[in-house]
Amino acid sequence: MSNTAENLRKEPLLRVVKRAELPTGKIILLRLLAVLLSLIAGGIFIACVGQNPFVIYMTIISGACRSVMAFQGTIKLMIPLLITSLGVTLAFKMKFWNIGAEGQIIFGATCATFFALFFSGLNHVLLILIMFLSGFIGGGLWGLIPAVFKVKYNTNETLFTLMLNYIALHIVSYLRDGPWMDPGSQGFPKIARFDKNASLDKLFGIQFGWLIALILVVLVFLYLKYAKQGYEISVVGESQDTARYAGMNVKKIVLRTMFLSGGICGLAGMIQATGSDITLTTSVAGGVGFTAIIIAWLAQLNPFAILLVSFLFSVLEKGSSVVQSNFGLSTDCADVLQGIILFFILGCEFFIRYRFLFREGNHGTDTVKKEKEG
Amino acid sequence: MDMLIKFLVAAVGAGTPLLFGTTGEILTEKTGHLNLGVEGMMSIGACIGFMVGYYSDNFVLALCFAALSGAFSALIYAFLTVTLMANQNVTGLTLTIFGIGFANFIGIFVLNKSPEGTLKLPEKITAAMRGIHIQGVSDLPVVGELLFSYSPFVYIGIFIAIVSAYYLNHTKAGLGLKAVGENPGAADAAGIKVTRVKYLNIILGGAICGIGGVYCSMIINGGVWISDNVGGLGWIAVALVIFANWQPSMAILGSFVFGALRVLKYYIPQSIFPFPIAFYDMLPFLMTALVLVISSMRKSSRINLPASLGLNYYREER
């Protein structure tokens, strides 16, 4: 008796226990609950700055979908977000922390711009194809640099990819201020607007990119789920030792995947530059690379979920610009809300895998034992 | 010679926010937690500190609130990664995106309410931040300008770095902290309260980052609020931790070297080195990338990387 009392005293008030796998329905319910809580937290934030959260939320939704024009604007925002999220997903599946999507977008767009500026006389279809390829290869090479150092010297890829973002950014500002400066702009530093021949065509009133993005969703899904290479990515992501033991060439897989990951981000840059901006600016990426990381993570790296989440995020961003003009709240509101949502989802993952156990006397210790055996 | 002194003085000024960020992140990483939210914590500190300074006109109060808000944002990170064992990379990144968004949002919100259309710090607090002047000492040639002419921030930063170095290397608590970062399981078995050590140091690190942030918003732009005032310095600070080999004393040197890189473009005569401006803007990032590569190539046992960095500690799995 005294022994149990001793044990009880030693046991902490609160402890964490792993739980058996939850059914999918319950997991989805937990995540929805987390989103709901995050919207409440976001609502409190909005209320703190003196606005009615319900009105703001309604304005966001109606602002993004109130007219055909507005909806087209939403889709236009979604294209780079969706493609980039798909790109970083490949790297994240491998647990390679590619946070350099910004740089890969910029460099891909820069390579495509080279052809748009200096080969604008080519046949339209051929030119677009060349720009497409150069965007992909440019982004891919930019992603390959940190991967090479990672496999060779185990250089921290998180920081390296990040530094490459700024380096790519300053390459563009160099080109803008010097060799690629628009001769017609009378010394104002900007790159010339692309020739009509070098810009993407429209399909249903929105640039062609949306179709490419949708095709990529399916391709990435098939690649990750059914291709041998996709399987290799997830094995390397789970455990490099296991992959090596199974005879996989881990270095090759890391390099190939980062090339693809960067390449897809580069495509997003090419599509943004030639489809939406019709020129190259330093804000061609404009934070998309970071938002894409949030999207990919919220969607649990599932391409179809990414489609849904990136749509919701574009609604949030488009809607927040309407909130800005109607209520004078800056569009940074979207970033704050995105951050809050992800905080809650990150927290909620814990409750899917673990649960808290309170000290509750004899009965409590029994359940702990059962939990351990089960 | 005169130019050289001006350059060195400017380098120290430009390196000071990095010094805070780096020292704060060293304490955080010594717990085994890689907090990529430095940029976000600095932004939040920059925003809250600036606003408190703007309304209260009190330098000390502004500093305290910057530190408190940095600590609070680090608490969010600590709760998610220590208690809820969330992915450290993603949590840190989210903190960065959230922090920058929050700072810009509040900045524009207050800006829209101000009658003048700009936010400029009032006179008294600006005077408090100005370079110190000690009668007799600051007037000394060369030495006076190089050592006794800076804003109080510079001395606070160096003081915090030296105290942190002492704390890490010469106190029992510092030893416990390093044990937690190397092997939390062993530290736990030795009776160290792992969770408490992690929380305390992550929060302390956040507070230091917050002070670095308020330097960005109050000093860099001459006391006028602009959006994105931290502008990537937090990220350089994360990389400087590697450069400094997780030693606060080395962080002092590293920050000032990188500060020098940031101001180089104003002091290098274009006629001798005709590089484009964009190249100088790129230089700190290029150097950081180089440092990363070189320090990873050098597989020396003297690298102080905490062994459990990036891994969450789950007691039942040790």
CATH of the domain at B133: 1.10.3470
Q: Which residues of A touch B84 (CB under 8 A)?
A: 346-347, 349-350
B290–chain A Cβ distance below 8 A for any pair = no
Calculate the alpha carbon distances from A251 to A30, A152, A259, A262 in Å: 38, 8, 12, 16
Rounded to whole angstroms, how far apart are CA atoms A201 and A278? Answer: 11
Give me the percent of chain A exceeding a pLDDT of 90.
28
Backbone angle region of B245, left / alpha / beta, with phi > 0 → left and psi within -120 to 50 → alpha: left
**pLDDT tops 90 at residue A147:** yes
CB contact under 8 A, A332 and B235: no
* pLDDT score at A12: 67
Q: Tell me the CA end-to-end span of chain A in Å, nearest whole number.
A: 26
The residues near A197 (Cβ < 8 Å, ≥ 6 apart) are A120, A121, A122, A124, A127
Give domain limits for chain A: 79-308
Average pLDDT of span A331-357: 85
Q: What pLDDT digit, counting tens, does each position of A291-305 carry?
A: 898 899 888 889 999
Average pLDDT of span A200-209: 75
Total domains present in chain B: 1
pLDDT confidence band for A373 (50 / 70 / 90)? very low
* pLDDT score at A374: 34
Name the residue among A18, A97, A346 with its Cβ closest to that of B91. A346
Q: What is the DSSP string of B27-88?
A: HHHHTT---TTHHHHHHHHHHHHHHHHHHH--HHHHHHHHHHHHHHHHHHHHIIIIIS---H
Average pLDDT of span A191-215: 80
Name the residue among A158, A163, A347 with its Cβ closest to that of B86. A347
DSSP secondary structure letter of residue B219? I
pLDDT confidence band for A171 (50 / 70 / 90)? very high
Judge whether B205 lies within some domain: yes
For B78, which residue in chain A has the nearest alpha carbon?
A: A347
Beta bridge partners of A354: A18
- Amino acid at the residue A139: G
pLDDT one digit per residue (tens) for chain B, 318 residues:
778 888 888 899 889 999 999 999 999 999 999 999 999 999 999 999 999 999 888 889 999 999 999 999 999 999 999 988 888 888 998 999 999 999 999 998 888 888 877 888 887 777 777 777 777 767 777 777 777 778 888 999 999 999 999 999 999 999 999 999 988 889 988 889 999 999 999 999 999 999 999 999 988 887 888 888 888 899 889 888 888 888 999 999 999 998 998 888 888 777 777 778 888 888 888 888 888 888 778 765 566 778 777 778 877 665
Q: Are strands A206-207 and A202-203 parallel, antiparallel or unpaired?
A: antiparallel
Average pLDDT of span A77-90: 93
Lowest mean pLDDT among A1-15, A204-218, B62-76: A1-15
CB contact under 8 A, B96 and A290: yes
* pLDDT score at A1: 44
* pLDDT score at B201: 95
Q: Which residues of B touch A290 (CB under 8 A)?
A: 93, 96-97
Count of CB atoms situated within 10 Å of the CB of A110: 26
SS3 A17: strand
Count of CB atoms situated within 10 Å of the CB of A213: 24
Judge whether B318 lies within some domain: no
Rounded to whole angstroms, how far apart are CA atoms B41 and B67? Answer: 10
**pLDDT tops 90 at residue A260:** yes
B97–chain A Cβ distance below 8 A for any pair = yes
Judge whether B317 lies within some domain: no
Q: What pLDDT digit, counting tens, does each position of A180-194 carry?
A: 887 777 777 788 788
Judge whether B294 lies within some domain: yes
Name the residue among A97, A336, A347 with its Cβ closest to that of B101. A336
**pLDDT tops 70 at residue A11:** no
Q: What is the DSSP string of B74-118?
A: HHHHHIIIIIS---HHHHHHHHHHHHHHHHHHHHHHHHHH-TTSS
Average pLDDT of span A191-202: 78
Main-chain dihedrals φ then ψ at residue A366, nearest 5 degrees = -60, -45
* pLDDT score at A364: 46
Rounded to whole angstroms, how far apart are CA atoms A111 and A142? Answer: 11
Q: Which domain holds residue B169?
A: 2-312
**pLDDT tops 80 at residue A203:** no
Among residues 148-177 of chain B, which lie with CB inside 8 Å of chain A? none
Q: Angle at the Cα of B261 (from B257 to B265), degrees rounded to 5?
A: 150
Rounded to whole angstroms, how far apart are CA atoms B34 and B309? Answer: 6
For B40, which residue in chain A has the nearest alpha carbon?
A: A339
Lowest mean pLDDT among A93-107, A188-202, A325-339: A188-202
Name the residue among A97, A149, A164 with its Cβ closest to that of B89. A97
* pLDDT score at B42: 95
Name the residue among B86, B276, B314 with its Cβ closest to that of A346. B86
The residues near B289 (Cβ < 8 Å, ≥ 6 apart) are A160, A163, A164, A167
Q: Are strands A354-358 and A206-207 parallel, antiparallel or unpaired?
A: unpaired
* pLDDT score at B312: 80
SS3 B120: strand
* pLDDT score at B152: 85
Main-chain dihedrals φ then ψ at residue A140, nearest 5 degrees = -65, -45
* pLDDT score at B296: 79
Q: Encoding tokens for residue B237?
A: 């600070």
Number of Cβ pairs < 8 A linking chain A and chain B: 144
CA distance A51 to chain B (A): 12
* pLDDT score at B213: 94
Among residues 268-287 of chain B, which lie with CB inside 8 Å of chain A? 276-279, 281-282, 285-286
In contact, A76 and A205? CB cutoff 8 Å: no
**pLDDT tops 50 at residue A268:** yes
**pLDDT tops 60 at residue A328:** yes
B232–chain A Cβ distance below 8 A for any pair = yes
Q: Report the complex ipTM.
A: 0.87
| pTM reported for the whole predicted model | 0.86
* pLDDT score at A9: 53
CB contact under 8 A, A294 and B238: no
Rounded to whole angstroms, how far apart are CA atoms A110 and A374? Answer: 56
Judge whether B166 lies within some domain: yes
* pLDDT score at A51: 82
* pLDDT score at B317: 66
CB contact under 8 A, B85 and A159: no
SS3 A360: coil
Q: Which residues of A touch B315 (CB under 8 A)?
A: 15-16
**pLDDT tops 70 at residue A6:** no
**pLDDT tops 80 at residue A13:** no
Print burial letters for A7-29: b (CB count within 10 Å at least 16), e (below 16).
eeeeeeeebbeeeeeeeeeebee
In contact, B45 and B66? CB cutoff 8 Å: yes
Q: Which residues of A touch B98 (CB under 8 A)?
A: 335-336, 338-340, 342-343
Q: Which of A55-69, A161-175, A317-331, B125-139 has the highest mean pLDDT?
A: A161-175
CB contact under 8 A, A17 and B316: yes
